[in-house]
Structure 1
């Protein structure tokens, strides 16, 4: 039996996580972005909005794989959400913290392909401004935090690294899909 496969996209803000995920879903319907639980305010599109009480219930049940605070909100990767995502296909989880990757890989049994999407700080600034973000300065602070995170975890092993300033989203999606096909083939060999 082939293990459940999942994709983790790691990178700073505006490195292309949403765009590459969209290209993956266009390439094959089995891919779908994992919808994180969000406790807080602001943008709700792309999240399962929750309450502090729901977060406490998940924590009490041991169902929080990883939670992080950013932009004044808490973002949660939870077992029930992952179970639902795997029931539908191959979840694509977006992360900006190596500790989150490790928590997910260690805390939820699946064959995770870990992909580093990268772009320089000035590209994050340009892309953020270009898409009309009202919090570009916070996104640049997050870019700085991601760079620091990478520097602090130089031992992190990536299954694939993509510079999104030179690789198109469609080509990145094809590379990721090929990686999963190879990993599935190696698991059945």
Structure 2
């Protein structure tokens, strides 16, 4: 059965850093490049158009979409199928419980769900230090993530990692062990 990892957490919690370390541990781990309709940062995304989005919706191949920072971010059926080819294990970064639920229910695979967390204060420091020009928007997203966790029936996380306490290497090893145990 295909496998995948869902990393859920607020901005600057360390999802990118942990993903990079996982890819160093095992080449089967690959970042899932969501389709992005909009502008700004393109690294790590497959840039798309509103027409592509409409076509995905028409075909029923849109698994999850969210709108944030003035852009639309999409998890699509074809993109996941391609990401899982050859035994690869895609790592999806999500910031909404609804996204975790949509992916786990609409795309059959052995999904490992991981809550990656840090405080709002650490998000502010990390966002500023990495040069984000939209730190206030990222703090608003942190607030929305905290509210999302508090107000929604969220899935039981397979693992919770606090990146203020765990190093990226330690977090990656824990996630790798979780994935290996799930097969």
- In structure 2, distance between residues paired with 1:181 and 1:104: 20
Residue 68 of structure 1 pairs with residue 60 of structure 2: no
- In structure 1, distance between residues paired with 2:136 and 2:15: 19
Aligned position for 1:146: 145
Q: Give the CA deviation at 1:156.
A: 2.6
1:6-25 to 2 correspondences below 5 Å: 6-25=4-23
Q: Is the 8 A contact 2:97 2:154 kept in 1?
A: no
Q: Give the CA deviation at 1:181.
A: 1.0
Where has structure 1 moved over 2 Å in runs of 4 or more?
A: 153-156
1:1-189 to 2 correspondences below 5 Å: 3-88=1-86, 89-184=88-183
- In structure 1, distance between residues paired with 2:62 and 2:178: 28
* Inter-CA distance 141–111: structure 2 relative to 1 (3 Å threshold): same
Q: Is the 8 A contact 2:5 2:92 kept in 1?
A: yes
TM-score (structure 2 length as normaliser): 0.98
Aligned residue-pair number = 182
Stretches of structure 1 lacking an aligned partner (at least 5 in a row): 185-189
Instruction: For residue 67 of structure 1, give the secondary structure of its aligned residue in structure 2.
Output: strand
Stretches of structure 2 lacking an aligned partner (at least 5 in a row): none
TM-score (structure 1 length as normaliser): 0.95
Superposition RMSD on alpha carbons, in Å?
0.8
- In structure 1, distance between residues paired with 2:94 and 2:46: 16
